[in-house]
Amino acid sequence: MPGHFEALPGGGAAVALDDVEISIIRSLAVQLLELIGPGPAGDAPEDPLAELFTEGPSEPPADPVLRRLFPDAYGDPEGAPDPRRAEEEKAYAAEFRRYTENDLRAGKRDNALAVIRSLDALTPAGDGGAVLELSTEDSRCWLSALNDLRLAIGSRLEITEEDDTDALYRLPDEDPRKPMVMAYLWLGSLQETLVSTLLP
């Protein structure tokens, strides 16, 4: 179990984490929450039906990490835009974003909060670490949050292809990106083993 998730009998997953690992994941989840931003709680209408139809932004975020977390729904993000359809796709993307981004942000916030709360609820073991046990539902929240964290870090590291990841393994220890790279690779390992616990 150390360093990777294992399936629990009856569903769910468990992983042994030391204090440093707990601190890193919690810190990254908090930073993700800060990046996504607060929900519309303060200025939301009191009428739940009206809140359901509250419109979100129609323009893509300026921050490249947020653009990666909330990409346009139309167009090929990696291909050359078709000039004949560019304006039409931009209009469709803006309309789609207006009605979906608030919910997407809320879901990502909920997943990051689930990670923080489950880490805060851990009971330390004698060696300073703890065993994190997740229900199947909590595992799904963690899986989504780990994916978002990797997307965020990958965006900061400008990872766009698998070849970029291979190059990261060869970074010298003195490279200032090395700690972020190590976190990216470690979160990927956690994500992969968590996925395997959810497979039938």
Q: Rounded mean pLDDT of 138-147?
A: 97
CA distance 138 to 133: 9
**What are 27-49's pLDDT values in tens digits?**
999 999 999 988 655 445 565 55
> DSSP readout, 69-134?
HS--SSS-SSSPP-TTTHHHHHHHHHHHHHHHHHHHHHHHHHHHHHHHHHHHTPPP-TTS-EEEEE
Confidence of residue 13 (pLDDT cuts 50, 70, 90): very high
pTM of this prediction?
Answer: 0.82
pLDDT tens-place string over residues 53-97? 566 666 778 888 988 888 877 655 555 556 666 777 777 777 777
pLDDT score recorded for residue 72: 79
β-pair type (130-134, 13-17): antiparallel
